Structure 1
Amino acid sequence: MIYADKTDLIYSLASTRARIFLARPRRFGKSLLVSTLQSLFSDGLKYFSGLQIEKLWSDRQYDVVRLDFSGLKIFENLEQFERDFKSVLLEAFSPLGFNINKSRENIVFFDQFKSWLLTLPPDSLVLLIDECDTPLTSHLDDDEAFDVIRNHLVKFYTVLKSAERCLRFFFMTGITKFSNTSIFSALNNLTDISLDTKYSQLLGLTEQEISLHFEDYLASAEKVLRLDRNQLQNALRENYDGFCFDRKAQNHIYCPWSVLNFLNNPEEGFLNYWYASGGQPKVLLNYLKKHKLANPFAFDEPRQIRLSELTAAREYKDIGIEALLAQAGYLTIRSVCSNGYAELGYPNKEVELSRAQLYTEELLRGKNLDPMGVPMLSELIETGSLEEIVARFNAGINLIDYQTFPITTEAASRACIQLFLMGAALMPEVEKHTVLGRSDLEVRAGKRHWVFEFKYAAKTKDAAQLLEAGREQMRSRRYGVGPGAGELHRAVLVFCGETRRFERWLEIEDAAD
């Protein structure tokens, strides 16, 4: 096995008598980090030979309790959740001596638990909690269940706070930070390191770590994909890098799940591993169900948010869409301004495609843009005629709830097609700059390179004139023309506000102009 040594950072955490919270998106290795801390505290340096921490750690061994709340998200009724939750605690703490005294049934479970904790020597217990928010985020659409789960968690964390003298070290991971769970009021001494610059690369892989530890795999990928090292690194960076968990925006990180899957199967190409295996967390989907979806036609515009909002505890009903998307991994910090605001954007292609697929599913209300028995949109872009492509665009637009998502501008018509293409796993370029201007949208499929110019006509009578204006713009500014253009196809599409469809279109035949 290959291990990227981050134990110097683990030492910095574990050497203090601390209570720590760390939020990261799914598939970033939170559980592996918890396992590492568990091994360090329970077995000392037994499994750390040759790692940086071997020369640093001199502490003794401790009793360690590890709780994983990911198994508490499914239950038939609220009584079962209560039983399951108490069972998890009993199973975890009973090896250390905690048991329910049935002769004292008049004393409730958590009071007995508190009394037992108070008997433990100071600094004698290490408590690690993984997926702390899973029971809650799995029931955001059920207020009654959410409240019951919250109340049980509050009782548990309140007991921990009152008996904290027995804790040598406390570490908790999750994705979100909700204030009305009372976790962060019951445990008001938690240190949140989620955006701490020092620990921004604690989880995930840096580019240096990939080059250092995975040389044989990189060489194999080069041969399989017929790429040189620079081309391979650029593709890896474009697809899987770019996550920033740093309030100073100094460091970035690769998603480890995606990188490891790619290196294990390079012949499959740069697939979207993150979204397919957990990048679609229930917290986000449930939020979108109960709240108005942000304007999908502005999905690729940079977002600004106060940096403090990214780590602030919020009511789950009031948490901002940008903060939630950042916590879930769909957005990341691109830059930080001196006024305390951060600019958010997509970390990489993989996540951008994931977000586009999510928006496309919402736009089309669960209907398929590519019905059974017809060529897929990606196939039409690669081999179909312009008439077939526009027909598919219009068919998709016809599925959109026009009152909720009206197309009233040129930018909205372009963004709609951008989402359709990305939902089809294509990767269009928007507003690509040239010497003479910038094209609206370009996309490659197979040998073809399509360049689209979009126009918006409020009235049908204006469509013909706008079509000619688009033709002249395409020719005079030579969009798409240049080395490496491939089989170039240039087209002008005019969307009509009256008919709510692309009403006019043409392909520029003299692509070499």
Structure 2
Amino acid sequence: MKKLPVGIQSFEKIREQPDQFYYVDKTSFVEKLLEQGGGYFFLSRPRRFGKSLFVDTLRQAFLAKKEYFQGLYLENNWDWNRAYPVIHVSFGSGVLHSLEELAIKMESILMDIRNEHGIDYEKLSVNDRFMEAIVKIARKYGQKVVVLIDEYDKPILDNIANKSLAIEIREKLKNLYSVLKDADVHLKFVFITGVSRFSKVSLFSGLNNLQDISMNPACATLCGYTQKELETVFADQLEGLDKERIRQWYNGYAWLGEKVYNPFDILLYFSERQFRSFWFETGTPSFLITLLMERHYSIPSIEQLYLGEELIDSFDVDRIRVETLLFQAGYLTIERMDEKMVGRRTYQLAYPNMEVKSSLNRWILNELVEDVVAKSANETRLIRAIQTQSFNDLRDIFHRFFASIPHDWYRKNELSGYEGYYASIFYCYFAACGFEIRAEDATNHGRMDVSLFYEDICCIFEFKVLENSKEGSAMAQLKDRKYHEKYQDSGRKIYLVAVEFSKKGRNIEKFEVEKVS
């Protein structure tokens, strides 16, 4: 199988032969946006999801570059006789580490605009020059201007661990973006993309006509591949492959509409023909992991979060919420939405797929356990123990692991003092190994701590800390609440696993396993 180099123009494609291209046509969304008479639009999506590609699609359409759209929807659904001047601003490349570097970047952007459109600046400040560029370009071409801003928030997110610097950068960018409000009479269309959804007050003060299409069901598949697109466009690439496993690994992202695949993952999977965490490996969630640790976040609770609109919609460096960051960065997605009251929505979040669930928990585990070498060896033993249903081995694996943690580690970290720490270790190990697991699995008698599934077995775990409960209470709860009844008709062998810890002893004190008859 030849490797498939990735080619990027104004639409998405991969290439196997020099004359064979695969197109995923998203150009109909350009027409949908313009049907509203132009305007100001904002789209939030995780990194490497095709935002920049769609911005380029818009750019080529407004420039009337019909040659790029042959055979695509927009070829016969666009006025190619009228071109508009386009100002393209992108903060996507490089990492800015200071206000000085941001100033240089802004100056570079303004110089690119000047050189492309052949204008001169008379003003000095960045925001004045930006306004000057819009006005002079509109007058030069006799047409209103299209402004496309890609990765508008990247300078802030690159410095999110340094709150004071992030706030200063935010204010500088706010000064730049505020120009759009006063330039309205000269603008035909504005499209802004980013990862986070900062409030309008934070960055787009006064831009009241900015339409946020991030959670618009009609735009849910603007970025990403649907199942139908995958199976039709890449039909020959899928021959002989396990489509269900591909779906489990890479599909699952949703924004109140049909679920989609991350294009970055799919293109690289077709190139390499192996399951890897392609998307996850392009980013480092260090700041997110730090927040989880500092706030003693229960890792299993990430499995199913229920949040209101106020937590989903807004993000700001003044008050960073872990749940909002998890969602907007792409580590969680919308599983479903409830609208129990008029105007009041609640969202259930979950991991989008196996890539994210396994990889994120592996990162979290690295932070929790410190000894990465021991962690890696334990993963291999743990997989074998579950596969062979050797529960004594499972107990020994975790007991040896907890015993190997240096006492000095506990003195430097408060994590071992909260009850969810030990249960989180179990959960992260199982998730990192790729097992199907469910945290807080609901039944009509209560919630199981963790349920694990592998082939024809189901293991139901209950965790207790002896300092907070009586010895034997974990197994008693499993039996009294009859959690196993939920899966009794599944045809699986069901095991009840009761694990009791001692915070004082820093290890497992009691480990019981019973098979349900």
- Secondary structure (helix, strand or coil) at the match of 1:220 reads coil
2:277 maps to which residue?
272
For 1:128, the aligned partner's letter is L
Q: Is the Cα contact below 8 Å between 1:65 and 1:128 reproduced in 2?
A: yes
Select which of 89, 107, 117 maps to 2:110: 89
1:503 maps to which residue?
509
The one-character-per-residue Cα deviations of 1:244-276 (angstroms, maximum 9, x if unpaired) are 212xxx43222222233333333x24x332211
Across the aligned residues of Structure 1 and Structure 2, the Cα RMSD in angstroms comes to: 4.0
The one-character-per-residue Cα deviations of 1:35-88 (angstroms, maximum 9, x if unpaired) are 11111112432211121222210151222222210236334x533331232122
Residue 472 of structure 1 deviates from its aligned partner by 8.1
1:299 maps to which residue?
302
Residue 325 of structure 1 deviates from its aligned partner by 1.7
User: 2: CA distance between counterparts of 1:476 and 1:333?
Assistant: 27
Select which of 250, 253, 268 maps to 1:261: 268
**Structure 1's 368 and 175: CA in aligned 2 closer, same or farther, altered over 3 A?**
same
**Structure 1's 186 and 93: CA in aligned 2 closer, same or farther, altered over 3 A?**
farther
1:219 maps to which residue?
239
**Structure 1's 297 and 117: CA in aligned 2 closer, same or farther, altered over 3 A?**
closer
Q: Is the Cα contact below 8 Å between 1:439 and 1:451 reproduced in 2?
A: no
User: 1: CA distance between counterparts of 2:479 and 2:349?
Assistant: 36
User: 2: CA distance between counterparts of 1:56 and 1:168?
Assistant: 19
Select which of 353, 378, 381 maps to 1:376: 378
Select which of 416, 419, 428 maps to 2:425: 416
Q: Is the Cα contact below 8 Å between 2:224 and 2:263 reproduced in 1?
A: yes
**Structure 1's 28 and 501: CA in aligned 2 closer, same or farther, altered over 3 A?**
same
Q: Is the Cα contact below 8 Å between 1:453 and 1:470 reproduced in 2?
A: no
For 1:173, the aligned partner's letter is T
2:10 maps to which residue?
none
For 2:308, the aligned partner's letter is R
For 1:252, the aligned partner's letter is K
Which 5+ residue runs of structure 2 have no aligned equivalent? 1-20
Alignment of 1:201-240 (within 5 A): 201-222=221-242, 232-233=243-244, 235-240=245-250
For 2:251, the aligned partner's letter is D
- Secondary structure (helix, strand or coil) at the match of 2:146 reads strand
- Determine what percentage of the aligned residue pairs are the same residue: 26
1:111 maps to which residue?
128
- Secondary structure (helix, strand or coil) at the match of 1:3 reads coil
**Structure 1's 448 and 357: CA in aligned 2 closer, same or farther, altered over 3 A?**
same
Alignment of 1:162-241 (within 5 A): 162-179=182-199, 182-222=202-242, 232-233=243-244, 235-241=245-251
User: 1: CA distance between counterparts of 2:357 and 2:235?
Assistant: 28
- Secondary structure (helix, strand or coil) at the match of 1:221 reads coil
**Structure 1's 462 and 220: CA in aligned 2 closer, same or farther, altered over 3 A?**
same
For 2:117, the aligned partner's letter is L
Residue 475 of structure 1 deviates from its aligned partner by 12
Select which of 254, 261, 274 maps to 1:244: 254
User: 2: CA distance between counterparts of 1:298 and 1:512?
Assistant: 26
**Structure 1's 71 and 471: CA in aligned 2 closer, same or farther, altered over 3 A?**
closer
1:335 maps to which residue?
336
Residue 303 of structure 1 deviates from its aligned partner by 2.1
Residue 11 of structure 1 deviates from its aligned partner by 1.2
**Structure 1's 369 and 10: CA in aligned 2 closer, same or farther, altered over 3 A?**
same
Residue 350 of structure 1 deviates from its aligned partner by 2.3
Residue 185 of structure 1 deviates from its aligned partner by 0.7
User: 2: CA distance between counterparts of 1:112 and 1:265?
Assistant: 46
Which 5+ residue runs of structure 1 have no aligned equivalent? 223-231
For 2:428, the aligned partner's letter is L
Select which of 57, 79, 101 maps to 1:80: 101
| TM-score, normalised via structure 1 length | 0.79
User: 1: CA distance between counterparts of 2:475 and 2:181?
Assistant: 71
The one-character-per-residue Cα deviations of 1:255-304 (angstroms, maximum 9, x if unpaired) are 222233333333x24x33221123x4577457658x6353324232x322
**Structure 1's 203 and 136: CA in aligned 2 closer, same or farther, altered over 3 A?**
same
